[in-house]
């Protein structure tokens, strides 16, 4: 078996993992970064989800390196794509002119930019990227992780990695059970957290839906896929709380739970520069085609794109028949989630009501080339909820709820190491819950949420920080995940330099001041400016 060593091991190459690896490598550390899928970038790339961001993202509220990623994506389009002159001059270029984000784009572009950001450190040998590898075992000595065993996804090949700091940036907190780190899943009880939206009793197997996204365009000819084996089940599937069939243009409004009907019109002749992707003003999901559109053909010179490309991440692909964490049949549920997505596509092509009174859009074409997957779907499922560490500090609903905090704003943490903003947005769950949507205030990220209660050298670097099921709904999005990962990488370097533990850094005022100064110097915004009207 191959053995490798580094100063920092980052397991998981999603946004948090890439940010962590960048931060540690820039600080001069030797880093090993692993990823089980073909693309780095997690929810932005292999899961194919355009960035979910707050309304002020173009001005403030993100780390400098996350802003470099966003700027890099726009620059990539300007350097390599035949944009129209109007679009090329558009400062805040939105390549897909989608309504869900000011930066809807093709996932492969984000992969290219992330690789560009990592390239100097890979070239110098400071950073080693192992793909496609996933963790399968770990060794511990008391409260420390001494090594992690990685297995190749496609062949019988294993690598043992030893590092003084181990960062768990996997999508589901895979290192937590492997290392015996204390963690929680699903809903905590109201008795434990005091949260207004929590249930009376804990529900550890009640977790948010997963979704297998896919990209489509609309072209001439019949592009209909083979009828999925489970199509009849999904076509007739009507969850008790949903109010209609899942495969329908009708679904609950996330905030009011009132049943609303959405439209679907491929390739509207709209002006991409007229799209104002501000969720406060317009949720943008009236026409599902433009909601998460990732390539707007009118942004490019005539003939470049024969059709827009849109990303299907809609209510009807949410799979909540069972959890995929800490269950023996996780692979079965993931297979059913993929079957649901194929069934949605087949329904769109054959039975979906059209505005002209007909049914089906047979010209819808699955674009697996856009998602980098031979089966046409996203490479990885979109995971909204991870295992979460039992942390020194757990963020609860009362910390950021607009209804609770009001004009006082979210709780300010003395150990803040970043900021974020997103409504508490929980999708339907495996326990039969409908959407939970709670207004929130612009919030901070406490360092205490990154420090396990017991383990000394294992740090979370993604959605596995100390949030609850409820507050995870705000902390799970792209810029916050990046911020968490970046700070985890900085913290590993700081502790190696000072010879101190993460716990000591947070618990010692002098060290905490030094570390937060280091975080700020790295371009991480720790406090929000005064904001009105959120």
User: H/E/C letters for each residue in 182-248?
Assistant: CEECCECCHHHHCCCCCCCCCECCCCECEECCEEEEECCCCCCCCCCCCHHHHHHCCCCCCCCCCCC
Asked whether the beta carbons of 447 and 416 are under 8 A apart, the reply is yes
Retrieve residue 54's tokens. Answer: 């707050």
At 533 the pLDDT is 66
Report how far apart, in Å, the C-alpha atoms of 463 and of each of 106, 348, 383, 530 are. 23, 32, 9, 27
At 103 the pLDDT is 98
At 279 the pLDDT is 80
Structure confidence at residue 384 as a pLDDT band (50, 70, 90) = very high
Report whether pLDDT(534) > 90: no
Report how far apart, in Å, the C-alpha atoms of 16 and of each of 176, 282, 314, 455, 464 are. 16, 29, 24, 20, 10
Asked whether the beta carbons of 143 and 4 are under 8 A apart, the reply is no
Share of the chain above pLDDT 90, in %: 96
Give CA–CA dist 324/205, Å, rounded.
9
- pLDDT (tens digit, 9 = 90+) per residue, 31-75? 999 999 999 999 999 999 999 999 999 999 999 999 999 999 999
What sign does the CA torsion over 175, 177, 181, 186 have? positive
Q: Tokens 């819950």 appear where? A: 433
Peptide bond into 387 cis (omega under 30): no
Report whether pLDDT(1) > 80: no
| Residues sharing a CB contact under 8 Å with residue 85, sequence separation 6 or more, in sequence order | none
Q: Residue 190 CB: number of other CB atoms within 10 A?
A: 16
Instruction: State the burial class of residue 127 (Cβ atoms within 10 Å of its Cβ: 0-12, 13-18, 19+).
Output: buried
Report whether pLDDT(387) > 90: yes
- pLDDT (tens digit, 9 = 90+) per residue, 331-374? 999 999 999 999 999 999 999 999 999 999 999 999 999 999 99
Tell me 149's DSSP state: E
The CATH architecture that domain 2-50+105-187+384-521 belongs to is 3-Layer(bba) Sandwich (3.50)
Whole-model pTM?
0.98
Report whether pLDDT(532) > 80: no
Domain with CATH 3.50.50.60 in the chain: 2-50+105-187+384-521
Retrieve residue 188's tokens. Answer: 């905590």
Q: How many Cα atoms within 13 Å fall on the side-chain side of residue 13?
A: 26
Report whether pLDDT(389) > 90: yes
Structure confidence at residue 284 as a pLDDT band (50, 70, 90) = confident
Asked whether the beta carbons of 420 and 54 are under 8 A apart, the reply is yes
At 243 the pLDDT is 84
- pLDDT (tens digit, 9 = 90+) per residue, 126-135? 999 999 999 9
- pLDDT (tens digit, 9 = 90+) per residue, 163-197? 999 999 999 999 999 999 999 999 999 999 999 99
- Radius of gyration for the chain, computed over Cα atoms and rounded to the nearest angstrom: 22
């Amino acid at each position: 078996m191959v053995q490798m060593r580094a100063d920092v091991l980052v397991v998981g190459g999603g946004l948090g993992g890439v940010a962590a690896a960048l931060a540690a490598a820039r600080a001069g550390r030797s880093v090993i970064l692993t990823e089980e899928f073909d693309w780095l970038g997690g929810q932005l790339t292999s899961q194919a989800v355009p960035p979910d961001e707050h309304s002020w993202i173009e001005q403030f509220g993100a780390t400098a390196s996350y802003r470099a990623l966003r700027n890099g994506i726009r620059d990539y389009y300007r350097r390599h794509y035949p944009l129209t002159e109007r679009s090329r001059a558009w400062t805040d270029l939105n390549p897909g002119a989608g309504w869900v984000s000011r930066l809807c784009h093709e996932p492969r572009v984000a992969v290219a930019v992330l690789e560009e950001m990592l390239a100097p450190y890979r070239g110098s040998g400071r950073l080693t990227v192992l793909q496609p590898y996933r963790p399968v075992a770990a060794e511990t000595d008391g409260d420390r992780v001494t090594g992690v065993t990685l297995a190749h996804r496609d062949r019988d090949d294993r690598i043992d990695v030893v590092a003084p700091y181990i960062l768990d940036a996997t999508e589901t907190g895979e290192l937590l059970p492997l290392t015996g780190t204390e963690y929680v899943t699903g809903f905590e009880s109201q008795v434990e957290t005091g949260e207004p939206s929590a249930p009376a009793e804990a529900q550890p197997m009640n977790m948010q839906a997963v979704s297998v996204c896919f990209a489509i365009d609309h072209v001439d000819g019949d592009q209909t896929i083979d009828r999925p084996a489970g199509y009849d089940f999904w076509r007739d599937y009507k969850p008790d709380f949903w109010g209609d069939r899942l495969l329908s243009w009708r679904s609950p409004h996330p905030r009011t739970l009132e049943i609303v009907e959405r439209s679907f019109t491929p390739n509207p002749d709209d002006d991409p520069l007229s799209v104002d992707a501000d969720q406060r003003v317009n949720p943008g999901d009236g026409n599902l085609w433009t909601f998460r559109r990732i390539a707007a053909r009118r942004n490019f010179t005539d003939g470049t794109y024969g059709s827009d490309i849109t990303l299907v991440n809609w209510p009807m692909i949410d799979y909540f028949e069972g959890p995929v964490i800490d269950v023996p049949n996780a692979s079965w549920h993931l297979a059913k989630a993929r079957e649901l997505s194929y069934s949605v596509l087949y329904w769109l092509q054959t039975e979906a009501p059209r505005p002209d009174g007909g049914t089906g859009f047979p010209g819808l074409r699955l674009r697996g080339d856009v998602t980098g997957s031979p089966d046409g779907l996203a490479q990885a499922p979109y995971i909204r909820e991870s295992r979460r560490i039992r942390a020194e500090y757990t963020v609860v609903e009362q910390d950021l709820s607009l209804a609770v905090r009001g004009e006082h704003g979210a709780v300010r943490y003395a150990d803040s190491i970043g900021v974020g903003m997103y409504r508490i947005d929980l999708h339907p769950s495996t326990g039969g819950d409908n959407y939970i949507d709670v207004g929130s205030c612009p919030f901070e990220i406490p360092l205490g949420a990154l420090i396990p209660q017991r383990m000394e050298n294992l740090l979370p670097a993604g959605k596995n920080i100390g949030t609850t099921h409820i507050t995870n709904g705000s902390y799970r999005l792209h810029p916050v995940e990046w911020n968490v990962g970046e700070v985890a990488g900085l913290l590993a370097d700081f502790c190696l330099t000072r010879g101190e533990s993460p716990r000591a850094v947070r618990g010692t005022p002098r060290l905490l001041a030094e570390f937060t100064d280091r975080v700020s110097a790295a371009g991480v915004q720790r406090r929000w400016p005064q904001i009105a009207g959120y």
